[in-house]
Amino acid sequence: MNDRLFSLCTPCPDGFKFCRQFQARDFRRAPFALYAPSSEAAKEFLGQHLPRLTGVILIQGDHLSSEEAAPLVSQITVSSAMLPYLADFALHQLLQINQRVNSEERQSFLALENERLELNNLRASEEFIRFRASLLQEIDERRAAERHLAENEGLLRLIMSSTVEAIFGINNDGLCTFANESCLKMLGYDHIGEVLGRNMHDLIHHRTPDGLPIPFEECRIINSFTGGAPVIDSDEFFFRRDGSSFPVEYSSFPIRKEDDIVGGVVTWRDITERKRAELELRLFKESVDNSTDAVGMATPEGKHIYQNEAFSKLFGEIGQNPADVFVDKNVAGEMFKTIMSGIQWTGEVGMYAKDKSVLQIHLRAYANKDAKGKIIGLVGIHTDITERKRSEEERLNMERQLLHAQKLESLGVLAGG
């Protein structure tokens, strides 16, 4: 029955075919549906044949309505919103007309037809209302999702701009796709336009501080993306805009879109100060380790945590309590109270050697403090003065013996006189 849909309008609605002139054989043999720009145009086209035809005339209007154009021809006004569904609607009308076209009681048929049309009109109107409500709801949900996405993107940009860590993104060719303010500032650039779209390897990572070139294909950052595995490194150097280099610690992670890697993001920080502090700490540790004085360290609670090689040679491996190596535990307690009050303690004490013999030790103990004045550790510097003490004692004995001999000699001279 699809070939029974005709149209006087161009372009035709979907499913309808254009009629240039009236063909009696097409319109008389079965019910038809005719789409026309107006009722007058349809009646003029059908002419004198209208009373003998069976079918439906469809014209466009503002509201859905129906009326009788001829005894067996209904005229239905349809809104523009129904045009996408007009072919299905027309076929449904023709099917109903075809079932009732041979009815013996024409008046009963027309009454049923009018009732059906009204019901169909009501159903079509209800369906359109439901469709429109569903469409509006979908539009509202999509707009809400777009607003939420825009808010999240704005928040993400704000977070990236506010973080102290430097962040930049690149595509698979190494071209910069974004960079936050910390990244630009650390590299010496004023705005994003100076790095956007440029090759970041050639810009900041193209050679070593010694001047040796790093080929693009050997760049660990790029390889971490193409290989699909993240890279964390703290032994790399970047170059500033002025050509100076500085040590960095970075983490590079690939960006995936579905199953493909489309680039990566690099988060990094300048570790110049940390490297300097590590060097100073290493030099300090080497100085302490190689010192001829025995150095021991403890926590503010008095727990032994470090001793250098000279300390081990004198006292061996001691337990957690440094007071165990003191001959007089009271002296150890007084020393601890003194240095915890912020005052350096200096004196000579007796301490047990590794072989359990008693050594005479010159001890200087003090507390280490942080920038806020809080005690973070205790340090003791021990100098073995046992031999020096023994030498001094022997010298005093010799002096006493010599003095005694001189006295005896003086007495002999007096006796002889």
pLDDT at 105: 47
Q: Which of 104, 101, 105, 96 is nearest to 28 (CA)?
A: 101
Sheet of 375-384, strands arranged across: 304-307, 294-298, 375-384, 358-369, 345-352
Positive or negative, the CA dihedral 185, 189, 191, 196 is: negative
Cα separation values, 127 from 123, 124, 140, 153, Å: 6, 5, 20, 38
State whether residue 25 is helix, strand or coil: helix
Residue 318: which region, alpha, beta or left (left: phi > 0; alpha: psi -120 to 50)? beta
Residue type, 78: V
The answer to whether 299 touches 289, Cβ cutoff 8 Å, is no
Residue identified by tokens 């239905």 is 76
**Which residues contact residue 113 at a Cβ distance below 8 angstroms, ignoring those fewer than 6 apart?**
74, 96, 97, 100
In tens digits, the chain (417 residues) has pLDDT values of: 678 899 998 888 988 999 888 887 778 778 899 999 999 999 999 888 888 888 999 998 888 888 888 888 889 998 888 888 888 888 888 888 877 665 544 555 556 666 677 777 777 777 778 877 887 888 888 887 777 776 666 666 666 666 778 999 888 888 998 898 889 999 999 988 899 999 998 898 888 878 788 888 888 777 776 665 566 666 788 999 998 989 988 888 888 877 788 888 888 889 888 888 888 888 888 888 888 889 999 999 989 988 888 899 899 988 888 888 999 999 999 999 999 998 999 999 999 998 889 999 999 999 988 888 899 899 999 998 888 878 777 777 777 777 766 777 677 667 776
Sheet with 5-7, edge to edge strand ranges: 17-18, 5-7, 32-36, 55-60, 73-78, 65-70
What is the Cα 392 distance to its own chain's centre?
72
The number of beta carbons lying within 10 Å of the beta carbon of residue 207 is 13
The burial of 66, by beta-carbon neighbours within 10 Å (0-12 exposed, 13-18 middle, 19 or more buried), is given as: buried
Strand 65-70 with 73-78, pairing: antiparallel
Contact of 37 with 108, CB cutoff 8 Å: no
- Identify whether the C-beta of residue 263 lies closer than 8 Å to the C-beta of residue 225: yes
Give the max Cα distance, the chain. 186
pLDDT at residue 154 in the model: 62
